[in-house]
Chain A
Amino acid sequence: MTTSHETFTDKAAQAVVRATPEPLAARVRGLSDRAIAWLFIAPTITLLLAINIFPLFWAIYLSFTNYRANRPNAVVQNVGLGNYSRVLNDPDIWASMQTTAHFVFWTIVLQTVIGFALAYLIDRKFRGHAFWTTLILIPMMLSPAVVGNFWRFLYEPQIGLFAYAVSFLSGIPTSEIRMLGDVRLAPWAIIIVDTWMWTPYVMLICLAGLRSIPDYIYEAAEVDRASNWRQFWSITIPMALPFIMLAVLFRGIENFKMFDMVNLLTGGGPGSTTEVASIALKREAFEAWATGRSSAFAIVLFVAVFGLANIYVKILNRVKQR
């Protein structure tokens, strides 16, 4: 009965029919294989449409209106591109985008450099390396809510261990080390926490990259009397680069929408110093209740992330093909 034209789903549907007890199979027999296949994927498709696709289209629709979720009885009017124009001309929103860019750039730089360095060390397979790997991975296993809360205590100028350690090393009084309350230090405070938490993740991906490099390439390089430095730059980095780039992509997307940790640590403050785009969006949507405008803001963010990620993936593919 089977032909080479049959799809995998057709085969799967037939297998299900064969495995189904007689009364049900009898009823199912009336349906085509394609119908049965649809029957099985329908719940997933329905959920996807309800949870992802519909809200996206709904948000696009709302972004062209003056709808406010806290005014259910108000007349909803079409405002054309008004919300988009306002979002793109709002200096506060651009300030939040700058804050996000600062945060994303520095966290990626630090996490990539430290993460790769750690992966390189762990890859040496020294004695006890499994123990150290586990230890390094712990921060990434914690909940961001927990991390945010305990770093808030660590940063406390009067009782915090961080302030105490910095004071001990630098001689600056602890009361002067206001990591979360000082406009110059607060952006770095959240960068430090994010780096502490997510560097292990970058390390894991880099480690996978390093372990994927075949030993014979290094052996050939040694035969050619290539120095360790030369091997590092000509073999290790180029061959691990797709993995590093993948880690950068993941962390970039994650940090572009960073909310929980910043919200817990600074709430966007002091003033608006650490108000990243997601915090600004939340304020617009659920504090100012400007649903239409915040939908436009969300679409702008979505397009920006989607566009940048697409360009990046194309570059990544080119690097992989080299």
Chain B
Amino acid sequence: MLKKWIPLLGAAAVCGSLSMPQAAKAETLTLCWAAWDPANALVELSKDFTAKTGINMKFEFVPWTSYADRFLNELNSRGKLCDLIIGDSQWIGGAAENGHYVKLNDFFAKEGIKMDDFVPATVVGYSEWPKNTPNYWALPAMGDVVGWTYRKDWFERPELQKEFKAKYGWDLDAPKTYDQLKQIGQFFQGREIDGKKVYGASIYTERGSEGITMGVTNVLYDWGFMYDNPKKPYEMQGYVNSPEAVKGLEFYKSLYDCCTPPGASNVYMVDSADAFKSGQVAMHMNFAFTWPGLYKDEKVGGKRIGFFPNPAEKYHFAQLGGQGISVVSYSDKRDAALKYIKWFAQPEVQAKWWKLGGFSCLKAVVDAPDFKTSQPYAPAFLESMAIVKDFWAEPSYAELLQAMQKRVHDYVVAGKGTAKEALDNLVNDWTEVFKEDGKI
């Protein structure tokens, strides 16, 4: 019986040995990320990497709604699907402490990649854990921040400008304060433009993942909301639920009540962009990654669209988005993955990344003299990236996020209780999480 198999096994061994050098040449890296416009730009960009190294790239893109679920499950189960991952900024704490990402300090030192070459906020936001310490777990890959777009063509209509000035006493233009933002929202709410009923603004209200938290924090920072006492970490009483933060949350609800389209009770990135693209709203809150696509849009893009950073109140901040690229520690292709990061960090690759629609975090790109004029949204992006602030990036960020989603959605959208109660409850929830973590 065995005799029968010997020639077959021999043939298989010969075939195997013959194909081995080829297999080494055709090594394939899998990069995991969200399914969105910048991911398509990265596919295009990565062709250069394949051409240069012979390493093929495979991509695993998951829609935003299941992005966290899918990839956190993958990391927690120590899966080998992803060799490289562009993980959300808030994952960094958990990924570092649970050993999901490869620490990159030695690699950066060996390859001469300096974190000083990147925009500081992105290094803190996407790469460092613990924050503000030189422990790097990712290379800043995709800068992103919450900002606003507006219908420039509507704002420039003489009859609307005249009516607005008469009503509010200032020229209709991109708002600089929240009062102005709300006035513009109220002005456009329910107005008929070109025979179509339009509304003031589209803001984040989504309940399922992180939507409403990203929108609310984006506003609350400016009113004085802080995650904890800067001098005593994890002391949240009086910071999360300070009177200023309460006012900020009340403002967000008032904006939701006065100025959003009917039924906008579960809106995040895609729905918000859709509301703007379909000509429903005068202004729309969204991450900057949507801007290139909106600018190219035939109906609302080009001269019809304008971009502005978050308005200011007592302070001036904006919610950080974006991600860093990391090597997954369970990957069998760690060397090839590091090669990709080395290639991606090069200034010429970063310049092309911006050109293709990605948002580079490299100073050489964003500080270049022609950067501000390179795209109409570049000035708003630069200004916004200078004022970013991020949500907790603790290992228990998921619980912290879920608590905030519930508390603020209950108040803003469902109208349950008061802003003070919502933030007081949030402090209780967060305190419990940190107690369980042994941090309090």
Contact = CB atoms under 8 A, between A and B. Distances in A.
Interface of A: 66, 69-73, 92, 155-158, 174-176, 178, 180-181, 183, 263, 266-273, 283, 286-290
B262 A157 contact: yes
Contacts of B206: 267
A269 B414 contact: yes
A158 B414 CA distance: 20
20 contacts: A69-B76, A157-B262, A157-B263, A174-B262, A178-B263, A180-B263, A180-B265, A181-B264, A181-B266, A181-B413, A263-B208, A266-B266, A268-B207, A268-B208, A269-B409, A270-B414, A271-B416, A272-B406, A283-B402, A289-B398
A181 B261 CA distance: 11
A269 B402 contact: no
B94 interface: yes
B265 A270 contact: yes
Query: Which has the most chain B C-beta neighbours within 10 Å: A70, A73, A92, A175?
Result: A70
Q: SS class of chain B's interface: helix, strand, loop or mixed? A: loop
Interface in B412-429: 413-416
Contacts of A178: 262-263, 265
B398 A271 contact: no
B386 interface: no
A136 to B, nearest CB: 30
Interface string B83-117: 00000000000100111000000000000000000
B72 interface: yes
Contact of B78 (A72, A180, A268): A72
B72 A70 contact: yes
Interface residues of B, number: 33
Contacts of A183: 414-416
A270 B264 contact: no
B290 to A, nearest CB: 21
A288 B398 contact: yes
B402 A288 contact: yes
Interface of B: 69, 72-73, 76, 78, 94, 97-99, 206-208, 261-266, 280, 395, 398-399, 401-402, 406, 409-411, 413-416, 436
A71 B263 contact: no
A157 B208 CA distance: 21
Given A178-B263, A289-B398, A269 B72 contact: no
Nearest to A265: B266
Contacts of A174: 262
A288 B69 CA distance: 11
B266 A267 contact: yes
B94, B263, B399, B401 — which one has the most chain A CB atoms within 10 A of its CB? B263
Contacts of B72: 70
Given A269-B265, A288-B402, 12 more contacts: A70-B72, A71-B94, A72-B76, A73-B99, A158-B261, A181-B265, A183-B415, A269-B207, A269-B266, A271-B414, A286-B69, A287-B401
B142 to A, nearest CB: 23
Contacts of B76: 69-70, 72, 289
B263 A181 contact: yes
A170 B199 CA distance: 24
Contacts of B94: 70-71
Contacts of B416: 183, 271
Given A72-B78, A283-B402, A288-B398, A180 B266 contact: yes
Contacts of B98: 70-73
A288 B400 CA distance: 8
B409 A270 contact: yes
